[in-house]
Amino acid sequence: MTKSETLFRRAQEIIPGGVNSPVRAFRSVGGTPPFIARGEGSHIFDADGREYIDYVCSWGPLLLGHRHPEILAALERALAIGTSFGAPTEQEVALAEAICRAVPSIEMVRLVNSGTEATMSAIRLARGFTGRDLIVKFEGCYHGHVDSLLVKAGSGVATLCIPETQGVPKAFCDTTLALPYNSVEAVEQAFRARGNEIAAVIVEPVAGNMGCVPPRAGYLEALREITARHGALLIFDEVMTGFRVAFGGAQERFGIRPDLTTLGKIIGGGLPVGAYGGRREIMSRIAPAGPIYQAGTLSGNPLAVAAGLAMLRHLEAHPEVYQQLETRAAELCAAAPPGVTVNRVGSMFTFFFTDGPVTDYESAKRSDTARFGRFFRAMLERGVYLAPSQFEAAFVSAAHTEEDVRKTTAAAKEAFRV
């Protein structure tokens, strides 16, 4: 047995499925997940010493790759003064200011510890601000494991084919309208029918949790116009796209100004940080400034903030990173043969094993997931570590080299044939 197999057997005794997040268990692609021993730049090494080119990048956060020196140095400085105070610190103000500078629609921001906390808080805020209860989300989009947002969710829920998550009361699901992604008519229809009950529309401006699915031309503009017309808020869930598809996120790339934005992943530089923010008049309703409660023991944690601030400061100082990310990702996507649909926005992409366009959850689900599993395993055997699900995105980091791209392309040419 390999060390990973031994460790996985041990883990499954005491951790559900042997993992601390379902999609890591390789259930949809088969095989034993490698237990990672360390990372360096664009590579990770498993417990058996095997080396992989990493396109998961911790599911997006590691835009600069593993163990970037500026992030490590910031962590060392933070460690020298302590790990947590549960009190305000200058650094968390600096991170809030950096986020607001990068994303102009965010006039005020609250730091939390995960993307789930960010989206959970944003929808509570939208309900409190509007006095309405309904939330519109889109099939195949995933906004974390918030009870009412697990309706027809993507990511691990789609990967594991969990029909409707047990434990979520019907009453919670009844407050969520799940519509097809990229359909303006479906949104118009929902607002015609129940517009005065809808507090907000929450959307992944570029979907990443049904695999990468870009917004159709005009779609985000339509969401902006429809929500404004009906007095509902538009929430961009940029946990994945924030600082990924552009320094200012998808809202910069597509020129849309949402009312609220949720962030996570990259803003923590590899440590747990989430955030939600937006219009000052809305954010001012959050306790203690206002009556809508949200709190967190470790929110603004000095170590996590130090890593996130180092990440954002590096990106602010090196805008050229984004062109490099685009170039590398485009080179990788060129490896796809006919019959495989490639969706890419910036440095996030997905190879769909279907020959039709993938524009929503229904078309994504037409993919041959068994063939994706064979492709995934063949790539892993060739030292390329992709996301273990057809319904996830791959990520390129600034640490990925031309040599990484060459090796990955060579591996893909073989793996696409298995």
Mask for 64-103, x = binds ligand KE4 (CB under 6 A): ----------------------------------------
Q: Which is nearer to ligand KE4, 242 or 302 (CB)?
A: 242
Hey, CA dihedral for 256, 270, 46, 154, is it positive or negative? negative
For residue 170, give every residue at least 6 positions away whose Cβ sits within 8 Å of its Cβ, in sequence order, or none. Answer: none
Residue 413 structure tokens: 């040419």
Catalytic site residue 322? no
Tokens representing 111?
């730091």
Question: Which residues fall within 8 angstroms of residue 133, CB to CB, at 6 or more apart?
Answer: 127, 175, 197, 199
The binder of ligand KE4 chosen from 54, 237, 360, 404 (CB under 6 A): 237
Q: Which residues of 315-337 are buried (b: 16+ CB within 10 A; e: fewer)?
A: beeeeebbeebbebbbbbbebbe
**Token pair in block for residue 138:** 């889109």
- Using rule CB under 6 A, residue 119 touches ligand KE4: yes
Number of residues that bind ligand KE4 (CB under 6 A): 21
* Closer residue to ligand KE4 (CB): 206 or 232: 206
Q: Please, which residue, 240 or 246, has the CB nearer to ligand KE4?
A: 240
Under the criterion CB under 6 A, does residue 114 sit at the interface with ligand KE4?
yes
Residue whose beta carbon is closest to ligand KE4: 115
155 is an interface residue for ligand KE4 by CB under 6 A: yes
> Which residues have a Cβ under 8 Å from the Cβ of 202 and sit 6 or more positions away?
119, 122, 123, 135, 136, 137, 141, 143, 149, 235, 237
Among 204, 252, 259, 404, indicate the residue that binds ligand KE4 (CB under 6 A): 204
What would the DSSP string read from start to end of 343-398?
A: EEETTEEEEESSSS---SHHHHHTS-HHHHHHHHHHHHHTTEE--SSTTS-EE--T
Compose the 262-301 pattern: x for residues touching ligand KE4 by CB under 6 A, - for all others: --x---------x---------------------------
Q: Is residue 261 within the footprint of ligand KE4 (CB under 6 A)?
A: no
Which residue of the set 46, 54, 237, 404 is catalytic?
237
Report DSSP letters for 130-183, one per residue.
H---EEEEETT----S-GGG-TT--HHHHHTT-SS-TTS-HHHHTTEEEE-TT-
Site for ligand KE4 in 3-32 (CB under 6 A): 21, 23
Q: By CB under 6 A, is residue 215 in contact with ligand KE4?
A: no
How many C-alpha atoms does 306 have within 13 Å on its Cβ side?
A: 20
Smallest separation, CB 23 to ligand KE4 (Å): 5
Candidates 11, 239, 286, 307; binder of ligand KE4 (CB under 6 A) is 239
Q: Please say if 265 is a catalytic residue.
A: yes
Distance CA(415)–CA(418), nearest Å, equals 5
63 within 8 A of 398, measured Cβ to Cβ: yes
**CA atoms of 22 and 146, how far apart (whole Å):** 15
Shortest Cβ 210–ligand KE4 spacing (Å):
10
**165 forms part of the interface with ligand KE4 (CB under 6 A):** no
Q: Compare residues 394 and 405 and give the one whose CB is closer to ligand KE4.
A: 394
Selected from 68, 110, 127, 143, the binder of ligand KE4 by CB under 6 A is 143
Instruction: Let me know: does 346 contact 330? Beta carbons within 8 Å.
Output: no
Q: What is the DSSP letter of 228?
A: H
Minimum distance from CB of 120 to ligand KE4 (Å)?
9
Provide the minimum distance between the beta carbon of 288 and ligand KE4 in the complex, in angstroms, as a whole number.
Answer: 24
Catalytic, 133? Answer: no
The residues assigned a catalytic role are: 142, 237, 265
Which residues of this chain interact with ligand KE4, rule CB under 6 A?
21, 23, 59, 114-116, 119, 142-144, 155-156, 204, 208-209, 237, 239-240, 264, 274, 392
